[in-house]
Amino acid sequence: MFIVLLSLLSFSLLSVSAQEECPIQYSCNNTNFNESLVEKYCKSHDSLMSGRCCILNETVIGLDLRYCNIKTLNISQHVFEQVEILDLRENDYEKLTSDELINLLNLNYLYLPEHIPCPGGHMAWNITEKDHNMTSCLDQLNSCNSLNISCGEPDDANCHHLGPGTAKCICQPGHFGYKCLNEGEFPVVIFSSSVVFPTIVLSIALWFIQGRDPYKTREI
């Protein structure tokens, strides 16, 4: 009985440990890791700070990536899609683009080095400000609304918010083409045939025109 209880306890500890792992792939300098805005946010939301991650119910909601030698942000993994607060100060960034924040729909607190503007600017955030030697990008806006994106008729296509300053028109079923104005399915067979067949004919013609044996020499 004692062995069974010990096994269950060990399994529980391993499960908790696995749930609390912070899956970042950067080499960070932890000697300067202090005064964390992410940690304060984490505590205010009754969450657990594990390394550089703030974890709530097995979900990563915060990332403190200061002093991580980041030049290009790569947090496109599914595990980071629910991040609400991200601190990227003290890194060698020259510019942060909206493409690096794709799918971070819940990101409402982004902190950057002072010289870097908020990706997407005023059209992506409700508040953009510079103070205390940093740039703060707060309260993410829905890009479909802030950029006033028109995707045509609502029955043809819908605008999908993809992240700060980024949106995409997606066709409704049964529509395709520019602004999804064409009805039906995209003619894959016809399109492929119109590309492949001329390519084959042109290749054969060039083969005959240039000579079938480019290495053949004239006999003297």
- Residue 122 sits in the same domain as residue 169: no
- In the chain, the number of structural domains is 2
Give the model confidence (pLDDT) of 12-27 as tens digits.
333 333 345 788 888 8
Residue 94 located in a structural domain: yes
Whether 8 maps to a domain, the answer reads no
| Residue 13 confidence (pLDDT) | 35
- The whole-angstrom separation of Cα 28 and Cα 150 is 42
Residue 86 lies in a domain: yes
Q: Which of 71, 123, 73, 46 is nearest to 63 (CA)?
A: 73
Instruction: Let me know if residue 205 belongs to a domain.
Output: no
| 3-state DSSP assignment of residue 125 | strand
Looking at per-residue pLDDT, the higher value among 194 and 173 belongs to: 173
Other CB atoms within 10 Å distance of the CB of residue 100: 18
- The pLDDT of residue 149 is 87
Do 118 and 156 share a domain, yes or no?
no
- 191 lies in which domain range? 146-198
**Model-level pTM?**
0.71
pLDDT digits (tens, 9 = 90+) for 36-83: 999 999 999 999 999 999 999 999 999 999 999 988 898 888 999 999
Q: What is the pLDDT of residue 16?
A: 35
